[in-house]
Structure 1
Amino acid sequence: MTLAIMLVVVFCTIGLSTMVWGIAALCRLAAQGRADTRLLSPSMYYRRDEVAVLIAAHNEQLVIAEAVRAARALVPASHVFVVSDGSSDETVARAREAGAVAWDLSPNRGKAGAIRAGLAHFRIPERFPLLLLLDADSRPRPDYLRTGLPLFTDQDVVAVAGRATTSADAATRGMGLVLTSYRERTYVCTQYLHKFGQAARVADAVAIVPGFASMYRTDVLDRIDIDAPGLSIEDFNMTFEVHAKRLGRIAFHPACAVAETQDPAIFRDYSAQMRRWSLGFWQTVRRHGPRVGLFWASVGALAVETVVSSLVLTLMVPALVIAAVAAVASTMLSGFAAEVAGTVATVLPVGPLAAAFLVADAAMTAFVCIVTATRPRVWMLLYPLLRVWDAVLCLRALVAALGRPSDGRWRSPDRRAALSPAST
């Protein structure tokens, strides 16, 4: 019984999908290690001057200039477009000062609506074969296109999912440090242990082309319902649309198309962002429903696993408290009360329960430390609590997704003024 409980906790903490796609990623890595010599070679189809960069922004005056400068390091300045979605600050002025072609869109339509409007206003599909969607707080690295464009060498590829990493100017103390380092752990685990395996040619099961810094072929954009009503975010839905309409493959490699993003350093903003991401996933799953195919089977399995894991992790803290109280009570009480406490302590053994949860979580942290060549830090001991909080937010978002639809409008988190590369 104890072993069974421990295994359930381990599987819910790490995730069966993580194990399956992690194995697929290892197989893909082994295969590429033998044969793929084209990874960083110039694309035989696209050049940097054929790429447009579109940034949808709302009250992003603190970070928009650095995003524009990072984009201008990749493409000509005339190819960088900013849609200010009903901003009440100096987003437009800062974008223009940094060299972008900026448009003040009013009233506020939300990110998806701003993207759709920007595509039409700047006539991007007519002028450019490729589009890089970039968030205002994201900065693609200088080799973003050099490594990302070769992934389009396969003519079946219609989108390249960018690889997210926490920006170099992340918080360095307090709760901000814990939140940003935990988010980086999430990025590494999901991108190396999920997305890399899902992007294998035989699978083609990437669940999200993140809107923070990813590329699309513009000839498929008119077939993607970018601003579908009722959704809080657009990137899950755009990805599901690619699969549902069989527009082509989605490519991803953790060494390619890397961009830094400014993650929330305030707990309120972190919680709001996690809830919004989870809500977007559940709304998209509800919108598209079950279908036939490997991608849809993978999404269905992930949805079921996410619900079960979130329930188990949400109950983890009260279960540990009850188990600890029962263990103590069984030694201090007598008679029937001691017997009941002993039964509870046997069913919920506090030691094995805590060990299974903490060791499984620590294994994920160790994996990230190895991949990123970083040393374990004491604040990483707080990661299990954040994992539990993620589970709570996920379940709340699931309930919300079953209720009234979202209007897609946004509130930007508190930003930190972006540091220039030299300052960083």
Structure 2
Amino acid sequence: MSAVLIVLVAIGTVGVSTLVWGTAAVLRLIAEHRRSETLLVPSMFYRADEVAVLIAAHNEQLVIADAVRAARALVPAQNVFVVSDGSSDDTVARAREAGANAFDLVPNRGKAGAIRAGLAHFRIPQRFPLLMLLDADSRPRPDYLRTGLPLFTDAGVVAVAGRATTATDAPDTTMGRFLTAYRERTYVCTQYLHKFGQAARAADAVAIVPGFASLYRTDILDEVDIDAPGLSIEDFNMTFEVHAKRLGRIAFHPECAIAETQDPAILRDYSAQMRRWSLGFWQTVRRHGVRPGLFWTSVGVFAVETVVSSVALAAVLPLLLIATLAGLGSLVLPGEAAAVAAGVATALPAGPVALAFVIVDAVMTAFVCAVSRTRPRAWMLLFPLLRVWDAVLCLRALAAALGRPSDGRWRSPARRAALSSA
């Protein structure tokens, strides 16, 4: 019975989607290794000077200049555009000082509304064949376009999902290092074990083109409802729009189009961001529903298992506490009370549950350390606590998604003065 319980907890912890798409990723790696491909260079399809970079920002004076400088390292200065969404600080001035074309949007409309306004104000679809959406706290690596543009050589590709990685200017607090290390683990697991398999040509099931640093062909933007009402974030919805309207394929490769992003360093900001992301996913699922097709089936399975695993994870700590107390009670309580406590302890075996949960989580950490070539740390064994907290935030977001719609307006997390791109 304990062995069965361990297997069930392990499968529940990893998830069916991870097993399916992780297998697809391995098969894709094998196929790419065997295939003899001709060398692809950006000039075969698009050039860097044909890419517009649009940054929607709200009170980002600490980081906006670095984002602009990083963008200018990729494209000509006249191709970099900033929309300040009702900022009350020096975002506009610092963006212009760094060399960007800046537009002060008042009143603020939220990120999606700012993107839509920026596209119209700067006439980007009429002037450029490609759009790069960049967050103010993100820094595309110098080879971002050199590796990302060749993915458009396939004429059916209409978007390239950027690969996220945590910025190297890590916070100097214990909590900050813990949160950013956990977030990097999440990035690696989701991008290698989900998105890479989903982006296989035969699948085309990528669930999100992240708005932090991704590329779109501008000739499809008129058909994408960027600022759909009632949503807290835009990137899930834009991706679902591409699939729903069959506008083309979404490409992704973990070695291409890489950008660093400044992740939250305090638990309050981390929690707010996670809740916002989860809320955006559930709102988008509610808006689009589930339809026939592989992508929609994948989304449906992921949504169901996310709810189930979140409920299970949220219940882990209370169940372990009850099982532990029952085990102790069976030893110290008299007579019939001890028998009842023993029955509870038998029905809720704390050891196998905790062992399966911790071991599977540790395997995930070991996988990420191997991929990213980082040394495992003892405090990484505490990552399961954040997984439980993520589950609680996810369930709260699901409940909120069934209630009042969002207005899309945002509050940026506390920023750290970014390291200069130079």
Give TM-score, length-normalised by structure 2: 0.99
Aligned partner of 1:52 in structure 2 is 52
Q: Tell me the CA shift for residue 6 of structure 1.
A: 2.0
CA distance in 1, matches of 2:62, 2:39: 35
Residue 173 in structure 1 maps to residue 182 in structure 2: no
Partner-residue secondary structure (3-state), 2:183: helix
Paired residues of 2:113 and 2:227 also in contact (CA < 8 A): yes
Aligned partner of 1:14 in structure 2 is 14
Partner-residue secondary structure (3-state), 2:62: coil
Paired residues of 2:83 and 2:115 also in contact (CA < 8 A): yes
Aligned partner of 1:66 in structure 2 is 66
Aligned partner of 1:212 in structure 2 is 212
Q: What aligned pairs does 1:193-232 form with structure 2 within 5 A after superposition?
A: 193-232=193-232
Paired residues of 1:56 and 1:85 also in contact (CA < 8 A): yes
Partner-residue secondary structure (3-state), 1:315: helix
CA distance in 1, matches of 2:320, 2:298: 32
Paired residues of 1:43 and 1:151 also in contact (CA < 8 A): no
Partner-residue secondary structure (3-state), 1:104: strand
Aligned partner of 2:317 in structure 1 is 317
Partner-residue secondary structure (3-state), 1:201: coil
CA distance in 1, matches of 2:341, 2:273: 41
Paired residues of 1:40 and 1:146 also in contact (CA < 8 A): no
Aligned partner of 1:371 in structure 2 is 371
Q: Tell me the CA shift for residue 177 of structure 1.
A: 0.5
Aligned length: 422
The amino acid of 1:189's aligned partner reads C
Q: What aligned pairs does 1:29-178 form with structure 2 within 5 A after superposition?
A: 29-35=29-35, 37-38=37-38, 41-178=41-178
Deviations 1:357-394 (A, max 9, x none): 00011111010000001111122121000000000000
Aligned partner of 1:266 in structure 2 is 266
Ranges in structure 1 where 5+ consecutive residues have no aligned partner: none
Paired residues of 1:209 and 1:236 also in contact (CA < 8 A): yes
Q: Tell me the CA shift for residue 40 of structure 1.
A: 5.2
Q: Tell me the CA shift for residue 36 of structure 1.
A: 5.2
CA distance in 2, matches of 1:285, 1:274: 17
Q: Tell me the CA shift for residue 37 of structure 1.
A: 3.2
Partner-residue secondary structure (3-state), 2:10: helix
Q: Identity percentage over the alignment? A: 77
Shift in alpha-carbon separation, 1:36–1:170, aligned structure 2, 3 A: farther
Deviations 1:335-361 (A, max 9, x none): 111111111111111111110000011
Partner-residue secondary structure (3-state), 1:88: coil
CA distance in 2, matches of 1:151, 1:16: 28
CA distance in 2, matches of 1:188, 1:71: 24
Partner-residue secondary structure (3-state), 2:216: strand
Q: Tell me the CA shift for residue 7 of structure 1.
A: 2.3
Paired residues of 1:9 and 1:312 also in contact (CA < 8 A): no
Paired residues of 1:157 and 1:248 also in contact (CA < 8 A): yes
Aligned partner of 1:348 in structure 2 is 348
CA distance in 2, matches of 1:88, 1:237: 28
CA distance in 1, matches of 2:210, 2:261: 12
Partner-residue secondary structure (3-state), 1:52: strand
Q: Tell me the CA shift for residue 331 of structure 1.
A: 1.4
Partner-residue secondary structure (3-state), 1:209: coil
CA distance in 2, matches of 1:43, 1:415: 37
Q: Tell me the CA shift for residue 66 of structure 1.
A: 0.2
Q: What aligned pairs does 1:398-409 form with structure 2 within 5 A after superposition?
A: 398-409=398-409
Paired residues of 1:43 and 1:152 also in contact (CA < 8 A): no
The amino acid of 1:138's aligned partner reads S
The amino acid of 1:183's aligned partner reads R
